[in-house]
Amino acid sequence: MTSKNYWPHFIIGLVLFAIAMGVWTVKTAIDNPVELDNSYMMKYQDVDKDIYDILKMQKEFNKNYKFIPLTKKLGFPDAAFAFKIVDKNGNVLKDAQAIVLFTRPETTKYDIKTKAVFQDGEYIAKAKLPLKGRWNIIVKLNVDKLTVFEKYKMSTLRDMLVKA
């Protein structure tokens, strides 16, 4: 009577399983590419390098100014995001430079970057949105040598203004 050894079959099965899992991992990674975070309109390496300066400028800005969003719901397809910047005395700031990024929460494919224009006491950024639904609004402000960012979540379907 001969006894059979099954351990060579087990080792071959383990190797084949490991190869199959490697192929599955690569296929999943290719099918689901990483979306780069654009919450500061910079590459994440630059944000990582300069985050303390960014936070310091944000703190200085918040001490001297107030950002007031005026838009509660985005229009579709013609969206406008309006806001005011006031100093601590309540005076409207007229000489700030503002760039507004309209971006989807899940992808950068539909990003629209536009410059806000000052008119009638408020800044207005307009964009033609390709899709209805949720949008992230990121505002990059340059005020008195300070560069700061304001982030909001908005929708074209309902009133929704959430500071991110």
Q: Which tens digit of pLDDT belongs to each residue from 88-103?
A: 998 999 999 999 999 9
Q: Which CATH class is domain 44-163?
A: mainly beta
- What are the start-end ranges of the H helices in 32-162? 44-64
Task: Sketch the domain layout of the chain as residue ranges.
Answer: 44-163
Is 151 within 8 Å of 138 (Cβ atoms)? yes
Q: Which two tokens stand for residue 70?
A: 């005026």
Q: CA torsion angle for 89, 93, 97, 102 (degrees, to 10)?
A: 80
Average pLDDT of the segment spanning 14-26: 96
Mean pLDDT taken over the chain: 90
Q: Which tens digit of pLDDT belongs to each residue from 32-50?
A: 766 667 778 888 888 889 9
pTM of the model: 0.77
User: Percent of the chain beyond pLDDT 70?
Assistant: 96
CA 150 to chain CA centroid, Å, is 11
CA of 127: how far to CAs of 37, 57, 100, 103, in Å?
21, 28, 9, 11
